[in-house]
């Protein structure tokens, strides 16, 4: 298989990229400056080699602890629980949240065989237990899809006996949409209007 | 609103035809298996975006063709209002359905439903009475989805949560994981139950009335039989509480069965004969004629619902319904329809003589091997 075919095939495996777009991307790279292409390739290699999950919260990180977990000025008393690591960025961009995060790595999805054991739920409960009483509030920012709602109900059942108040983002975020695709103002409003479950 | 034009392409054996429909309607005459029901199926597809005979979309595409398309032009009674074109197409290869209203794809598929305001009467309707509870649930679900805002999304939400909750039960997840679905199930389920109850209660009188008039004096009743007892529950919150209580009470049983055992997915509508002092279930005790009469009465109530909620005269599609009815009942059904201010009527019959109606004024079309001659 030629280099061009190989790269086209790799691009086509990316989400939202079909064979035609893949070929167009390859043509674009061939026509452009070689240095640009090398820089792109290096960035991808670094992504693979250096970016990992934060040991504590599961956010993207280049070290054992992510920038948020290692920042002493963040409020250790509030945890915001999201489904996926890329949703951390969406909430960070609002600039309205000063607490810490916890990434579940998905949501309860029995049709795909995903229960609590397949998600980072035990580590969340352990985080709350370990600092005994320091976590005042857990904001459950799972999606408003049926699965996200059930995940929120489950978390609330598990967390409340441990002490913290459990809140849910206010309505206004369209049903089933990833936070990543919701505009910052809407997220900020949902955050400000959060309510106890 | 009336259906003034119909363009069909590669639908069943109908091939490609463009037809202008007379304002009063039409009687389509043809031997069996020539495509009479296919014609009504094509028209009603524009109402529910699926086959009323339960066929899958692929099966509706003509042999060796890749796409079917049906487009209907709706002409408002008020001539100053612009006509509307609803079109639906299905592609075999991509299994893709495309629906447009005046050329634009609606945001949600549900927005394209119910534009025709039509009701189909078919010989298979007897299953509404003779068949199991799922037949009657499907009936009320279609009526309410088309006529009550919010019902369809509640029903879809309910089904979505139900399959996930059942999957949790089936794989033996701990109780807390199963219960995580309760809130979603109860919230959506209560909307479904409340709407079903209100509709059956509100239309029960009309059902009895239609039944009496078609049968010439005999009485019948319809009653909602929810799987979760709603006794004493009036508000939506009451219904939620009743449902949640029933769920909690059945947790052991559902764990054993591996599936959710209570809820509106097990509802029924009882259709009963009013005897002197007894009430007899039509499903078990009704004669053929009594069951057909009850099925007709259900369809008439459906037409009444359209008339009341959409302020439109419903388009009546009659698929060879009089073949199985005795003369007296047929006459009385037709009288009723005329008295009830229905809109257009499109009926099919095997022989000219079967259009023994007062609808002598109805223009006659013929169909042979799918080809309609006007
Ligand atoms: Zn972290």
Q: May I ask the CATH class of domain B126-311? A: mainly alpha
Residues A45 and A118 in one domain: no
Q: What is the pLDDT, as a whole number, of residue A171? A: 66
- Tell me, yes or no, whether A63 lies in a domain: no
- Tell me, yes or no, whether A59 lies in a domain: no
Residues A166 and A77 in one domain: yes
Question: What's the CA-to-centroid distance between A112 and ligand 1, angstroms?
Answer: 27
Average pLDDT over residues A161-167: 96
Q: Angle B196-B202-B206 (CA atoms, 0-180°, nearest 5)? A: 120
Q: What is the pLDDT, as a whole number, of residue B241? A: 97
Euclidean distance between CA atoms B293 and B130, whole angstroms: 12
The per-residue pLDDT for range A74-106, each reduced to its tens digit, is: 999 999 999 999 999 999 999 999 999 999 999
Q: What is the CATH number of the domain that holds A41?
A: 1.10.8.420
Euclidean distance between CA atoms B136 and B271, whole angstroms: 10
Instruction: Find where tokens 């004493």 sit.
Output: B232
- Tell me, yes or no, whether A9 lies in a domain: yes
Name the percent of chain B lying above pLDDT 70.
97
Residues A39 and A111 in one domain: no
The angle, 0 to 180 degrees and rounded to 10, between the axes of the packed helices B288-310 and B327-339 is 10
Which CA distances in Å does B51 have to B37, B40, B98, B232? 11, 10, 15, 39
Residues A103 and A184 in one domain: yes
- Tell me, yes or no, whether A81 lies in a domain: yes
Long-range contacts for B144-152 (Cβ within 8 Å, ≥24 apart)? Answer: B144/B195, B144/B196, B144/B199, B145/B110, B145/B113, B146/B47, B146/B48, B146/B113, B146/B114, B146/B306, B147/B114, B147/B305, B147/B306, B147/B309, B147/B310, B148/B195, B148/B199, B148/B309, B150/B191, B151/B191, B151/B192, B151/B195, B152/B110, B152/B113
B161 neighbourhood in chain A, CB within 8 Å:
146, 150
As residues whose CB is below 5 A from the ion ligand 1, the structure lists: A 54, 56-57, 59, 66, 69
Euclidean distance between CA atoms B83 and B3, whole angstroms: 10
Euclidean distance between CA atoms B355 and B349, whole angstroms: 7
- List where CATH 1.20.1050.90 sits in chain B: 126-311
- Closest-CA residue to B70 (of B107, B34, B18): B18
Euclidean distance between CA atoms A177 and A170, whole angstroms: 14
- Tell me, yes or no, whether A30 lies in a domain: yes
Mean pLDDT (chain B) is 92
Euclidean distance between CA atoms A157 and B178, whole angstroms: 12
Residues A162 and A118 in one domain: yes
Q: What is the pLDDT, as a whole number, of residue B360? A: 65
- The rounded radius of gyration (Å) of the Cα atoms in chain A is 20
The per-residue pLDDT for range B135-167, each reduced to its tens digit, is: 999 999 999 999 999 999 999 999 999 999 999
Residues A151 and A185 in one domain: yes
Name the percent of chain B lying above pLDDT 90.
78
Residues A87 and A181 in one domain: yes
Instruction: Enumerate chain B positions whose Cβ falls within 8 A of a Cβ in A.
Output: 157, 160-161, 163-165, 167-168, 171, 173-174, 176-177, 179-184
Q: Which chain A residue shows the shortest CA-CA distance from B156?
A: A146
CA distance A101 to chain B (A): 22
Residues A183 and A96 in one domain: yes
Q: What is the pLDDT, as a whole number, of residue A31? A: 94
Q: What is the CATH number of the domain that holds A104?
A: 3.40.1360.10
The tokens for A38 are: 């090398």
Euclidean distance between CA atoms B333 and A151, whole angstroms: 53
Euclidean distance between CA atoms B30 and B355, whole angstroms: 12
Question: What's the CA-to-centroid distance between A102 and ligand 1, angstroms?
Answer: 7
Containing domain of residue A16, as a range? 3-50
B171 and A113: CB-CB below 8 Å? yes
Q: Which residues are CB-neighbours of A179 under 8 A, at least 6 positions away? A: A82, A87, A90, A91, A141, A143, A173, A187
A158 neighbourhood in chain B, CB within 8 Å:
176
B167 neighbourhood in chain A, CB within 8 Å:
110-111
Q: Is B282 helix (H, G, I), strand (E, B) or coil?
A: helix
The tally of domains found in chain A comes to 2
The per-residue pLDDT for range B162-198, each reduced to its tens digit, is: 999 999 999 999 999 999 999 999 999 999 999 999 9
The per-residue pLDDT for range A51-72, each reduced to its tens digit, is: 999 999 999 999 999 999 999 9
Residues A97 and A138 in one domain: yes
Measured between CB atoms, which of B164, B171, B183 is closest to A153?
A: B183
DSSP track, B45-72: HHHHSS-TT---GGGGBPTT-SEEEEEE
- List where CATH 3.40.50.300 sits in chain B: 1-117+314-374
- Tell me, yes or no, whether A26 lies in a domain: yes
Residues A40 and A126 in one domain: no
Mean pLDDT (chain A) is 92
- Tell me, yes or no, whether A129 lies in a domain: yes
Q: Angle A140-A145-A148 (CA atoms, 0-180°, nearest 5)? A: 35
The tokens for A25 are: 């991307």
Q: May I ask the CATH class of domain B1-117+314-374? A: alpha beta
B183 and A149: CB-CB below 8 Å? yes
Average pLDDT over residues B226-244: 96
Q: What is the ipTM metric for this complex?
A: 0.80
Q: What is the pLDDT, as a whole number, of residue B54? A: 92
- Tell me, yes or no, whether A104 lies in a domain: yes
Which CA distances in Å does A117 have to A53, A141, B148, B212? 18, 19, 41, 60
Residues A9 and A98 in one domain: no
Q: How confident is the model at residue A166 (pLDDT cuts 50, 70, 90)?
A: very high
A116 and B177: CB-CB below 8 Å? yes
The pTM of this model reads 0.87
Q: How confident is the model at residue B334 (pLDDT cuts 50, 70, 90)?
A: confident
């Amino acid at each position: 298989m030629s280099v061009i075919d190989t790269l086209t095939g790799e691009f086509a495996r990316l989400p939202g990229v079909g064979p035609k777009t893949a070929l167009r991307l390859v043509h674009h790279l061939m026509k452009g400056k070689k240095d640009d292409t090398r820089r792109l390739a290096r960035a991808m290699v670094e992504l693979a080699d250096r970016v990992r999950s934060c040991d504590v919260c599961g956010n993207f990180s280049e070290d054992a602890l992510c920038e948020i977990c290692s920042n002493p000025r963040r409020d250790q008393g509030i945890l915001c629980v999201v489904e996926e690591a890329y949703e951390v960025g969406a909430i960070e961009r609002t600039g309205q949240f000063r607490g810490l995060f916890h990434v579940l790595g998905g949501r309860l999805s029995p049709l795909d065989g995903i229960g609590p054991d397949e998600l980072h739920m035990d580590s969340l409960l352990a985080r709350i237990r370990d600092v005994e009483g320091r976590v005042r509030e857990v904001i459950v920012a799972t999606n408003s899809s049926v699965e996200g709602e059930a995940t929120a109900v489950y978390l609330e059942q598990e967390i409340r006996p441990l002490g913290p108040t459990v809140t849910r983002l206010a309505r206004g975020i369209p049903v089933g949409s990833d936070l990543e695709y919701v505009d910052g103002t809407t997220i900020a409003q949902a955050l400000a209007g959060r309510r106890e479950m | 609103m009336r259906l003034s034009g119909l363009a069909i392409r590669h639908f069943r054996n109908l091939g490609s035809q463009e037809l202008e429909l007379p304002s009063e309607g039409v009687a389509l005459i043809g031997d069996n298996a020539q495509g009479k029901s296919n014609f009504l199926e094509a028209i009603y597809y524009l109402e529910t975006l699926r086959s009323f005979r339960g066929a899958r979309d692929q099966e509706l595409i003509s042999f060796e063709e890749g796409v079917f398309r049906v487009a209907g032009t709706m002409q408002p009674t008020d001539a100053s209002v612009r006509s509307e074109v609803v079109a639906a197409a299905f592609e075999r290869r991509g299994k893709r359905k495309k629906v447009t209203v005046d050329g634009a794809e609606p945001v949600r598929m549900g927005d394209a439903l119910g534009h025709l305001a039509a009701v189909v009467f078919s010989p298979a309707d007897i299953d509404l009475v003779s068949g199991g509870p799922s037949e009657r649930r499907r009936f009320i679900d279609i009526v309410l989805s088309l006529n009550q805002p919010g019902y369809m999304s509640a029903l879809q939400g309910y089904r979505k949560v139900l399959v996930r909750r059942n999957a949790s039960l089936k794989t033996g997840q701990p109780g807390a994981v199963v219960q995580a679905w309760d809130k979603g199930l109860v919230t959506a389920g209560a909307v479904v139950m409340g709407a079903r109850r209100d509709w059956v209660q509100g239309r029960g009188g009309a059902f009895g009335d239609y039944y009496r008039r078609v049968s010439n004096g005999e009485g019948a009743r319809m009653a909602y039989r929810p799987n979760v007892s709603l006794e004493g529950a009036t508000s939506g919150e009451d219904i939620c509480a009743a449902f949640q209580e029933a769920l909690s009470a059945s947790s052991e049983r559902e764990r054993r069965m591996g599936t959710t055992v209570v809820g509106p997915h097990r509802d029924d509508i009882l259709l009963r004969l009013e005897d002197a002092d007894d009430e007899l279930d039509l499903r078990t005790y009704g004669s053929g004629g009594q069951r057909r009469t009850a099925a007709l009465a259900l369809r008439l109530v459906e037409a009444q619902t359209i008339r009341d909620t959409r302020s439109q005269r419903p388009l009546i599609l009659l698929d060879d319904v009089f073949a199985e009815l005795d003369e007296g009942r047929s006459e009385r059904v037709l009288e009723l329809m005329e008295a009830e201010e229905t809109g257009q009527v499109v009926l099919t019959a095997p022989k000219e003589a079967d259009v023994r109606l007062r609808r002598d004024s109805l223009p006659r079309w013929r169909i042979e091997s799918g080809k309609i001659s006007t």
